[in-house]
């Protein structure tokens, strides 16, 4: 097998499962004791999360993760939570869109619209509220002219949380108000201090460990905490959208009308502007080169297509060491494509036949 040629020896765990004599351990943390697709899926999930957090625009989220401010277990449940009664509700679709855009910092602020529609925005990216900075997703929550709206919103969310815990608390019900008003998430709003970083995480649709700590102080079981915190996050998300984002959108609509831009200008952007115009606008943008970023090969579902494995020999070792890899028909179909005459002649670095088995 390919493993015997690796410089790092494979660790053998004898006590992982009672009825299992030996277990291969990948990267000193993942035992290869399941179906090959589950093992590879776990590894790929780690890699996807790492690539996601290493994106330059998510630097603040990565730093918050390193500082243990985000509770990823509950945040992941929140991203999949349906706060509507109907699973096919159009409102649920809008809720999911809001969560994705907030958490990935892709709300349609002027900097993003200028990147995607340069011939419409024409580098007019000043903040709609303060007009002193470029409007970005990070600046949206830190804009001084937006402070009062955010503060009032957090005071309302804090009061709602006090009512919720007063009715549901299992212990320490007399100090519920103090637990909330002295927590980093809400204290700044009641005292008119600068916005705390964990409060900004809530604005970006993340559940912070501080917010979970408030619930832990008064609720006995984690199951009950989940049942309470997810609907509460749904309520907070709606308040943030209505009281903060809608206010910004009202100014955007007035400015859009003054610029003579309509919704059709965006939906029919390719029809209004020729290909040459769009290409020229693209080449006129300032080029930002980040040499620290890894090579991006795009996202491919590993369970439908095995092209992600062509540069990952560790994954190939798992595949060829598995007893059921022979059933992966799509993998062998891809081998025919990789070793095709055209790929070898063209010498594309993404199509190099580097399999060594």
Query: Are residues 162 and 267 part of one domain?
Result: yes
**How many CB atoms are closer than 10 A to CB 177?**
14
The answer on pLDDT for 26 being more than 60 is yes
d(CA 112, CA 266): 13
267 is a domain residue: yes
278 is a domain residue: no
The answer on pLDDT for 88 being more than 70 is yes
Q: What are phi and psi of 240, to 5 degrees?
A: -65, -40
139 is a domain residue: yes
Helix (H) or strand (E) holding 83: none
Q: Which residue has the tokens 């007399």?
A: 174
pLDDT at 56: 80
Tens digit of pLDDT for each residue in 225-267?
Answer: 999 999 999 999 999 999 999 999 999 999 999 999 999 999 9
The answer on pLDDT for 214 being more than 80 is yes
Higher pLDDT, 182 or 292: 182
- Contact between 71 and 210 (Cβ < 8 Å): no
Q: Which residues pair with 238 in a beta bridge?
A: none
Domain boundary among 210, 240, 273: 273
Query: Are residues 257 and 303 part of one domain?
Result: no
pLDDT at 298: 38
352 is a domain residue: no
Query: Are residues 198 and 179 part of one domain?
Result: yes
Q: Which residue has the tokens 């991006």?
A: 296
In the predicted model, what is the mean pLDDT of residues 334-339?
45
Q: Which residue has the tokens 């470029």?
A: 134
Higher pLDDT, 32 or 177: 177
Query: Are residues 106 and 24 part of one domain?
Result: no
d(CA 106, CA 100): 8
Query: Are residues 191 and 174 part of one domain?
Result: yes
351 is a domain residue: no
280 is a domain residue: no
Domain containing 164 equals 60-273
Query: Are residues 312 and 200 part of one domain?
Result: no
Nearest to 186 by CA among 199, 177, 202: 199
Q: For the chain, give the longest Cα–Cα distance.
A: 76
Q: What are the start-end ranges of the E strands in 198-337?
A: none
Higher pLDDT, 298 or 89: 89
Query: Are residues 318 and 269 part of one domain?
Result: no
In the predicted model, what is the mean pLDDT of residues 199-217?
95
pLDDT at 234: 96
30 is a domain residue: yes
pLDDT at 94: 92
Query: Are residues 125 and 38 part of one domain?
Result: no
11 pLDDT band (50/70/90 cuts)? low
pLDDT at 141: 95
| Number of domains observed in the structure of the chain | 2
pLDDT at 210: 96
Helix%, strand%, coil% for the chain, nearest 5 = 60, 5, 35
Query: Are residues 248 and 170 part of one domain?
Result: yes
Query: Are residues 69 and 22 part of one domain?
Result: no
Query: Are residues 236 and 112 part of one domain?
Result: yes
284 is a domain residue: no
67 pLDDT band (50/70/90 cuts)? very high
């Amino acid at each position: 097998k390919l493993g015997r040629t690796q410089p790092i020896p494979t660790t053998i765990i004898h006590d992982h499962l009672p009825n299992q004599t030996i277990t291969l351990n990948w990267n000193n943390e993942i035992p290869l004791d399941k179906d090959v697709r589950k093992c590879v899926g776990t590894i790929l999930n780690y890699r996807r999360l790492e690539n996601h957090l290493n994106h330059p625009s998510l630097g603040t989220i990565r730093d918050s993760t390193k500082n243990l401010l985000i509770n990823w277990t509950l945040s992941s449940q929140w991203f999949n939570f349906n706060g509507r009664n109907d699973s096919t509700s159009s409102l649920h679709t809008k809720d999911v869109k809001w969560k994705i855009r907030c958490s990935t910092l892709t709300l349609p602020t002027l900097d993003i619209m200028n990147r995607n529609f340069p011939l419409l925005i024409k580098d007019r990216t000043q903040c709609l509220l303060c007009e002193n900075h470029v409007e970005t997703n990070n600046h949206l929550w830190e804009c001084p002219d937006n402070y009062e709206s955010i503060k009032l919103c957090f005071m309302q969310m804090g009061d709602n949380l006090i009512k919720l815990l007063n009715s549901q608390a299992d212990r320490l019900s007399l100090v519920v108000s103090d637990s909330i008003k002295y927590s980093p998430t809400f204290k700044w709003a009641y005292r008119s201090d600068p916005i705390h970083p964990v409060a900004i995480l809530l604005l970006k649709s993340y559940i912070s460990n501080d917010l979970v700590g408030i619930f832990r102080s008064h609720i006995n079981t984690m199951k009950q905490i989940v049942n309470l915190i997810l609907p509460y996050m749904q309520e907070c998300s709606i308040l943030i959208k209505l009281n903060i984002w809608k206010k910004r959108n009202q100014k955007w609509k007035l400015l859009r009308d003054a610029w003579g831009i309509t919704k059709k200008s965006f939906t029919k952007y390719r029809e209004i502007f020729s290909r040459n115009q769009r290409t020229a606008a693209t080449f006129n943008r300032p080029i930002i080169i980040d040499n620290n970023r890894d090579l991006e090969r795009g996202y491919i579902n590993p369970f439908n297509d095995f092209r992600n494995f062509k540069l990952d020999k560790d994954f190939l070792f798992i595949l060829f060491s598995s007893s059921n890899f022979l059933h992966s028909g799509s993998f062998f179909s891809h081998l025919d494509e990789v070793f095709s005459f055209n790929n070898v002649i063209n010498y594309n670095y993404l199509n190099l036949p580097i399999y060594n088995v």
